[in-house]
Amino acid sequence: MSQLLNIEDFTLGFPDRPPLLDSVSLHVNDGEAVALVGESGSGKSLTTRAALGLFPGGSEFSGTVSVQGLDTLTANKQRLMELRRGHASMIFQDPRAGINPVRTVGDFLTETLLRFDGLSRAEATERAVKQLEQVGLRRAKELMDQHPHQLSGGMLQRVMIAAALLNSPDLLLCDEPTTALDVTTQSGIVRLLREEQQSRGMGMLFITHDLNLAASMCERVYVLRRGTVVEHGPTQTVFQMPQQDYTRQLVEATPIIELGEVPAVEASAAPPLLQVSGLSKTYQLPRGDVITALDNAGFSLPEGGSLGVVGESGSGKSTLARLVVALETATVGELTLHGVPRPRRPLKAAERKVLAKDVQIVFQDPYLSLDPRIPVGNAVADVFRLHQRQGRKQAKASAAELLGRVGIGPDRFDARPRALSGGQRQRVALAKALAARPRLLVLDEATSALDVSVQAQVLELVEELRDQFGLTILFVTHDLAVVSRLCSELIVMHQGRIVEQGPTARILEDPGDGYTRNLIASRPRPLWDAEPVTA
Amino acid sequence: MTLAIQLPQAGLRRYGSLLSPMAWGALAVAAAVVLLSLFAPVLAPYDPDYVDLNNVLAGPGPQHLLGTDALGRDLLSRLMHGGRTSLLGPTIVVIGSTVLGLLLGLVAGWSEGWLGKVLGRLFDLLFAFPALLMAMLAIALFGKGLFAPILAMTIAYVPYVARLAQSLVVAERSRPYVQAYRVLGFRTPWVVLGRVLPNLIPTVGAQSTLNFGYVLADLAALSFIGLGVQPPTSDWGAMIEESRGALLGGYILPAFWPALVVVLVVVAVNVIGEELSDRIGGKLS
Amino acid sequence: MTATDHVQAPAPAQGGAARKRAKDRAVRPTVYILKKLVSLVVTLFVASLAVFFSRFLVPGDPARFLLRGRSPKPEALEEITRQFGLDKPAWEQYLNWLGGILQGDWGRSLTYRQDVSDVLLGRLPTTLQLVALAAVFITVLGLFAGIVASLNKGFGDRFILITLTAAGAVPPFVAAIALVALFSVGLGWFPSFGSGDGGWDRIWHLTLPALALGITYIAMVARVTRSSMNEQLLREHVEVATSRGLTRGSVVARHVLRNALGPILTVSGVLVAGLLVSSAIIERTFGLSGIGQLLVQSIDRLDFAVVQAIVMVVVAAFVLVNTVVDLIQPLIDPRIAAGTESR
């Protein structure tokens, strides 16, 4: 076995700044699948792009990055282009961004064949169609004439893979190839990639932030942190017996399905805090189409309970969350919160103010959910002034106290949101929501945009706050593992409908619905283990 | 996973840090021109209308720093006095169109129903009337002078501000932070005027700064073709027009100075405007 | 995975929608074209209302307004009242005016004692030639400067950008004066007056005016080309194309420039109106007898019927050109007609 990709002491950075990559060394042998895991900003993408001779403009680098003996740091343009065309291909994270939206799929696939391999249009088309069929796309001939916006994300990623495989590369570089996709779509892509890699005997470097995914794809793994390799070895060894603290933290923070973690609320005679029945939301599109975002949803959530809503994109779970906080108005159905039936019209200002003390929401994106101009302390104080009728001074004191409880120290009181990290922003968003003293807290994918280690901390905080404030939780997410940790009850949604609901442990152990089973089975499982990772 | 979040958030990004040297230079030029024009009655060495037929088309010298025109009037004094007229018009137009445009843009952006659509259509329609054309039509209706074109251009520049404000508001409205304000029970006027509006001001301000340059050039052009300010009042455009005869006779300076000042001011304003909009909408951190 | 499924702009559900999509593909372009054409007609209609009723903003007797600067003899007042139908209700006046325009009767010019349409038609060729020549300069020089600036980061980009900022700040009339001073009075290479005898002589005469007219717009087109290309250069699909081993030239032509065309075209469409209006000033400076010169003269001589007609022509030209631009856009970016994306 020869070394297909060999990176030695590779350092990359911009002048007068600390290096982004610091003496990274890694290698991939022929026919071997190697994972490169790390959180955002660890330098995974930079490392991988270097294998194709792609560097950020203005950067300086040293060391060796060689692919089949060709050093991409020093090779001339011609050799690099030959390498990219014939020997090494890359699959990018977001196929919708990665395929030129104004050209057809056929154009995308055949452009290198026509321009550099001297194939005729008919030959190139035939080869592209064959390749599309091989990656599991039906009606491949029709697809060739379609534009990317007419295809789903999963189909597009298969197109991207087909393009990468067209010239039978020896090395396949994958940069988070399934991160933009739903779990069930991801499992299909992962299976395809693994099959192709095995049957062609390609070497593969697989970048991901998801340890479970790395374990399901690769025999060896490198763990990257802030531009340095902290640990490497066989995947099973590294994940089960991590030697370094950082790796250990990463493994512990990675959410896994935990059964029976959260005790259910004892049944009581009191009416539930949130009662939903027959709730539907449809949208009329300008073209006359009607989209049913939520179809006949019904459930109840007792005071102090915790309910997880799980589904993929387009499942209607976010619509449900937005209906609960009255950002949307239901088309039909009943929603009763804290004894108040919700009118089927946009709320008046006074009604909104009353509702605010019953329910609050924390959104997904920590970079957008805070007003960029307002210091975080003032943002929280504003809520105290509005809802607790506190004066300026008192509100500031209350805000400081609450921010302290979510782990934001007084030194950050006057900071603008942009000076905070993603995790800190979500903490502030939580404080802002809690300042209204709501009974029900809706978390709409509130931890999905965070790195796993940060996500683990924020989840811990939510658990603490739930106990301190006696909150009822409605947690909307795509991630079964997160729900299993936080929620005693579970709703599974698919295409606008609730397909299954009940105690979390029961559903996860013995799913009754086909879609739920599919969802659970789609979670990546390590190569050494046929079963999903469970603690 | 971190894909979506690191994209630039137009309109809200880091602003407020220091300007580039070029922008400082532009600011200095603009300030100098404004001050010289503002205090022209005190600072100008001569009466701008004083005719000295013994001293026509003189070159720059200790007597007349920039020379004299075909009637022997001091060019520097005329430039300073003319600046008062030349700068006043754009100032009124920019303030008027910014206030009106922001107001209409906020309403159009915030109302999801027919009102927003109708206003959007109205802006589209107004775009079909270029400012200079609108000004000429107004002059045809109300007569020559500054009143008609200033009024017309104020209206003509409204859609430039309003459309921008509208699109910004639409973008802001769907941002989680605005939705969070709604869920928190803050009243809509407080959110719109107190929170959303300040976030628009830098971007709209950049656009209005650019508009200032265009209006200045257009008003000068109107004076140049004799439709704008009427004698004895003068502005830079009219000065260039007055100097055309001298120019064809080979005397460049009387036309050169006002032309230079117009270009300098427009460049300065554009540099400042672009610096602002780059700072707001531009680069990744 | 980072599901952002607010259903505000919902993606069509996959699977069962395939058949429907096939049908939609055939219908949508037609719907798109029809919509644009309807909007064209409506815009023209509303614009004509605005242009016609602008006269009613002037207080006082309309007949005296139309006869400003001329002796208001009773017979003249009577004639103008009859000619404009001033004794009829406003809506009837409008309908007559609109009907006349549609049939080619644009009213009579007081100055020329001629039909407005004849006056206009006689002047139109000069203006069109001037604008066409300016458009050539704008397209060639603007695109070239923008592309070069975008592809040469560092000194080249800075240099072109500063040049463009300076050029963009030169109002057409200042450019005209400067060009005349330099090339006519100074060097004597080009004439400073008149439109020549046709053929090369015409182009020789129109070169300076067209350059003066175009200089601001060259800068605008160059800027939008540069920024639109820069935006595309950062896109992931460009990196993907590079990673597949395409040459720099192919990547730029097929992926960067091609995708950047949309905004360039949009801006070019908007420029047309400004170009037509600015030609008024240029024509006057260079003594070209086009409709721009006519517009200025008619304002000067208080000949409102001609002013009204020219304003309508310019507005109509703007609306038409932009409708054409809208109709071309889907050929550049297929997502526009599908209504899924506005770019």
How far is the alpha carbon of B121 from chain A, nearest alpha carbon, in Å? Answer: 17
Distance CA B239, CA B227 (A): 13
Q: Which residues of B10-31 are buried (b: 16+ CB within 10 A; e: fewer)?
A: ebbbebeeeeeeebeebeebbe
Mean pLDDT over C194-218 rounds to: 84
Amino acid of residue A210:
D
A57–C236 C-beta distance less than 8 A: no
Q: Cβ distance A524 to A215 under 8 Å?
A: yes
Chains A, B: CB pairs < 8 Å: 91
Res. A159: pLDDT tops 90: yes
Query: Cβ neighbours of residue C158 under 8 Å, at least 6 residues apart?
Result: none
Kindly list the residues from chain A whose CB atom is less than 8 angstroms away from the CB atom of residue C259. 100-102
Both tokens of residue A451?
């790195």
Kindly list the residues from chain A whose CB atom is less than 8 angstroms away from the CB atom of residue B182. 327, 352
Mean pLDDT over A19-48 rounds to: 92
C315–B174 C-beta distance less than 8 A: no
Mutation pick from B7, B132, B166 vs chain C, by most beta carbons of C within 10 Å, is: B132
Distance CA A477, CA A492 (A): 10
Q: Cβ distance A494 to A311 under 8 Å?
A: yes
Distance CA A332, CA A281 (A): 7
Distance CA B86, CA B212 (A): 11
A182–C245 C-beta distance less than 8 A: no
Distance CA A513, CA A511 (A): 6
* Model confidence band, residue A4 (pLDDT cutoffs 50, 70, 90): very high
pLDDT of res. C15: 36
Distance CA A441, CA A447 (A): 14
A349–B184 C-beta distance less than 8 A: no
Kindly list the residues from chain A whose CB atom is less than 8 angstroms away from the CB atom of residue B3. 93-94, 176, 179-180
More confident call, B244 vs A66: A66
Both tokens of residue B17?
């840090």
Mean pLDDT over C160-171 rounds to: 87
% pLDDT > 70, chain B: 91
Q: Which residue has the tokens 């390799």?
A: A229
Residue of B nearest to A41 (CA): B2
| CA Rg value for chain B | 23
Residue of C nearest to A53 (CA): C243
Q: Cβ distance A482 to A301 under 8 Å?
A: no
pLDDT of res. C97: 86
Q: Does C339 touch chain A (CB under 8 A)?
A: yes
Q: Which residue has the tokens 């602002």?
A: B276
pLDDT of res. A530: 53
Give SS3 for A490.
strand
Give SS3 for A532.
coil
B139–C174 C-beta distance less than 8 A: no
Edge-to-edge order in the sheet of strand A203-208: A88-91, A171-175, A203-208, A33-37, A220-225, A228-234
* Model confidence band, residue B9 (pLDDT cutoffs 50, 70, 90): very low
Q: Which residues of A207-228 are buried (b: 16+ CB within 10 A; e: fewer)?
A: bbbbbbbbbbbbebbbbbbbbb
Query: Cβ neighbours of residue C33 under 8 Å, at least 6 residues apart?
Result: C327
Q: What is the 3-state secondary structure (H, E, C) of A264-309?
A: CCCCCCCCCCEEEEEEEEEEECCCCCEEEEEEEEEEEECCCCEEEE
By Cβ distance, the residue of A52, A314, A448 closest to C2 is: A448
* Model confidence band, residue B14 (pLDDT cutoffs 50, 70, 90): very low
Chains B, C: CB pairs < 8 Å: 127
Distance CA B155, CA B137 (A): 13
Both tokens of residue A233?
């070895």
Q: Which residue has the tokens 């992931």?
A: C236
Res. C6: pLDDT tops 50: no
By Cβ distance, the residue of B128, B137, B220 closest to C319 is: B128
B199–A327 C-beta distance less than 8 A: no
Kindly list the residues from chain B whose CB atom is less than 8 angstroms away from the CB atom of residue A212. none
pLDDT for A269-308, tens place per residue?
778 999 999 999 998 876 678 889 999 999 999 999 999 9
Q: Does C157 touch chain A (CB under 8 A)?
A: no
Q: Does B132 touch chain C (CB under 8 A)?
A: yes
Mean pLDDT over B150-172 rounds to: 93
Res. C17: pLDDT tops 60: no
CA A104 to chain centre: 28
Res. A175: pLDDT tops 90: yes
Distance CA B165, CA A158 (A): 41
Res. A62: pLDDT tops 70: yes
Number of H helices, E strands in chain C: 14, 2
Amino acid of residue A382:
D
* Model confidence band, residue C158 (pLDDT cutoffs 50, 70, 90): confident
Which chains reach chain A with 3 or more Cβ–Cβ distances below 8 angstroms?
Answer: B, C
pLDDT for A429-483, tens place per residue?
999 999 999 999 999 999 988 999 899 999 999 999 999 999 999 999 999 989 9
Kindly list the residues from chain A whose CB atom is less than 8 angstroms away from the CB atom of residue C10. 283, 285, 291, 293, 314
C315–B240 C-beta distance less than 8 A: no
Output the DSSP codes for C206-226. Answer: HHHHHHHHHHHHHHHHHHHHH
Q: What is the 3-state secondary structure (H, E, C) of B68-119?
A: ECCCCCEHHHHHHHHHHHHHHHHHHHHHHHHHHHHHHHHHHHHCCCHHHHHH
C13–A314 C-beta distance less than 8 A: yes
More confident call, B60 vs B139: B139
Distance CA C170, CA B263 (A): 5
pLDDT of res. A518: 93
Kindly list the residues from chain A whose CB atom is less than 8 angstroms away from the CB atom of residue C335. 101-102, 147, 149
Chains A, C: CB pairs < 8 Å: 139
pLDDT of res. C25: 53
Beta bridge partners of A490: A308, A502
By Cβ distance, the residue of B226, B244, B262 closest to C174 is: B262
> Nearest 5°: phi and psi at C10?
-75, 140
* Model confidence band, residue C302 (pLDDT cutoffs 50, 70, 90): confident
By Cβ distance, the residue of A357, A432, A451 closest to B180 is: A432
pLDDT for C99-137, tens place per residue?
888 888 887 787 777 888 888 888 888 899 999 999 999
Q: Cβ distance C146 to C138 under 8 Å?
A: no
Query: Cβ neighbours of residue C169 under 8 Å, at least 6 residues apart?
Result: B213, B217, B263, B266, B267, B270
Q: Does B221 touch chain C (CB under 8 A)?
A: yes
pLDDT of res. C339: 58
Mean pLDDT over C269-292 rounds to: 87
State the Cα torsion B257-B262-B268-B270 to the nearest 10°. -150
Mean pLDDT over C191-196 rounds to: 73
pLDDT of res. A440: 96
Both tokens of residue C233?
């250069």
A93–B180 C-beta distance less than 8 A: no
Give SS3 for A5.
strand
How far is the alpha carbon of A265 from chain C, nearest alpha carbon, in Å? Answer: 29
By Cβ distance, the residue of A364, A371, A433 closest to B195 is: A371
pLDDT of res. B283: 33
More confident call, A258 vs C169: C169
User: In 10 A of CB C31, how many CB atoms?
Assistant: 13
Give SS3 for C16.
coil
Helix A183-200 to helix A153-165 angle (10° resolution) is 10
The gap between the terminal CA atoms of chain C, to the nearest Å, is 23
Res. A515: pLDDT tops 50: yes
* Model confidence band, residue B18 (pLDDT cutoffs 50, 70, 90): low
